[in-house]
Amino acid sequence: MPAFKMSVARISAGLAASALFTPVFCAAASLIVNGETPLNVTTPPGFTYLVSGADGNLSVSTDGFLLCSNIVSDPQNPPPQSPVTVMPQHGDWSMPIAQDVSTVGYSAGVLGVNRNNATSLVCHSVGAEGEVASAFSDGLLRSGYETKTSEQFGNLINWIASPGFDWTAPNWSLVPTDPCNPSLSQPAEIVEDVACAAVSGARNAGAGATVRAPTLWTGTDGANFFYVGRVDARFGAQTEVDGAQSNFNFDQPQGAGAATLNVVNAYDRGVVGVGGGYLGDNGQWCILFNLPSALDGNVCTGAPLVGPLIGTTMIGFSGISLNVPPLGNPQVSFYMAFVRPIVGPPPGVNEPAVAVSILLEPSVAAEGGDKFRGDDVVFGFLPTSTGFPWMTGGQ
């Protein structure tokens, strides 16, 4: 098992002193942001809340990863933001920073941030070993008797495997490449009829073929680290015609005229603003319509959209806007590649180096969008790692 690592979600806010009190911990607490899967609060040190005048500073130590972003329906006219900043940290990792925290409160062992979800802040949480407690937001449960490998692989992919498929030794060529485009021959466990958001791993199998994978495709030339992930998103309902072809009927979800999504990435870097860690802050991102033939310094050459990386920020990437015809495109599928310089010693082969997440605006999610959450975050390991090291063995 990998070594235990710490994460810190620091929330600096203009909150009244009565908004939160620091309790005496008798048992492990949980941190929940916008009703997402909770992360365990470590005790000690638990969390502290310090007030200076009208300003408060909340520091939370947890045992998992928290990937956040501000997403609004109309980026040209965003709502006023609260004077709150969420800066998630996990050991040597740099995570996306977001703002707009409405409420903070502690009750019954749960530290809740934005309990009512009435905000543009979106976060996805994953446990300290990459585990997804449940991929389903509508309460479906799995049996507790599967191995960790089988359980986690099944939670990563919204797909009903055919009889005889073995998650302990999966044939990834049989697994759907596009998580947002199920069919009668490759049915989904959960029908995402309002909106679908997914980011997944893929490998180039040569001759134009792609193979689904549980992790990001990574590579290095000794000076730089490269990683590629697939992005799929759909807005509106989906109607299946037959087992080979899909005909999409994009009925506009009630109350929502469009969907806005954002892609964020995190990486092994060190405490925010301090340095250290494996990868450097400055780099490059690009969008590709096909998987590259190799991961090297030319991965973004000729890409239709390229921009610089500054920390976790992708300069020039304004997110994804989806709409029903004739107002816009209801779905997208593409690949995103990232290049970061290597500045320090690498993590162990059983610990991740990078992560990418896709997040959907809260208003569409509240209507039932993105019901399957297991494919919202994908991790990348060193090229010398095999499989998904977090998921090997154990119950």
Residue 136 DSSP label: B
**Rounded CA separation 374/178 (Å):** 14
Q: What is the pLDDT of residue 241?
A: 34
**Rounded CA separation 193/238 (Å):** 6
Residue 395: which pLDDT band, with cuts at 50, 70 and 90? very low
Q: How far is CA 352 from the centre of its chain?
A: 14
Q: What is the pLDDT of residue 129?
A: 78
Q: What is the pLDDT of residue 325?
A: 78
Q: What is the mean pLDDT of the chain?
A: 81
Q: Considering Cα of 245, then 251, then 257, then 262, what sign does the dihedral take?
A: negative
Q: What is the pLDDT of residue 145?
A: 55
Residue 198: which pLDDT band, with cuts at 50, 70 and 90? very high
Structure tokens given for 126 = 């994953």
258-268/320-323 β-pairing? antiparallel
Residues 306-317: b if buried by 16+ CB within 10 A, e if exposed: ebebebbbbeeb
Give the lowest-confidence range in 216-230, 247-261, 267-281, 378-392. Answer: 247-261
DSSP string, 340-372: EEB-SPPPPTTS-SEEEEEEE-HHHHHTT---B
Residues 13-31: b if buried by 16+ CB within 10 A, e if exposed: bebeeebbeeeeeeeebbb
The arithmetic mean of pLDDT across residues 296-319, rounded, is 95
Q: What is the pLDDT of residue 357?
A: 97
Q: What is the pLDDT of residue 200?
A: 95
- Which residues are paired to 335 by β-bridges? 230, 288
Share of the chain above pLDDT 90, in %: 36
**Rounded CA separation 124/1 (Å):** 23
pLDDT in tens, 89-112: 887 889 999 888 888 888 888 888
**Rounded CA separation 192/197 (Å):** 9
Q: What is the pLDDT of residue 23?
A: 40
Q: How far is CA 33 from CA 80, 86, 93, 233, 255, in A?
A: 19, 10, 19, 23, 24
pLDDT at 26 over 60: no
Highest mean pLDDT among 28-37, 146-155, 235-244, 247-256: 28-37
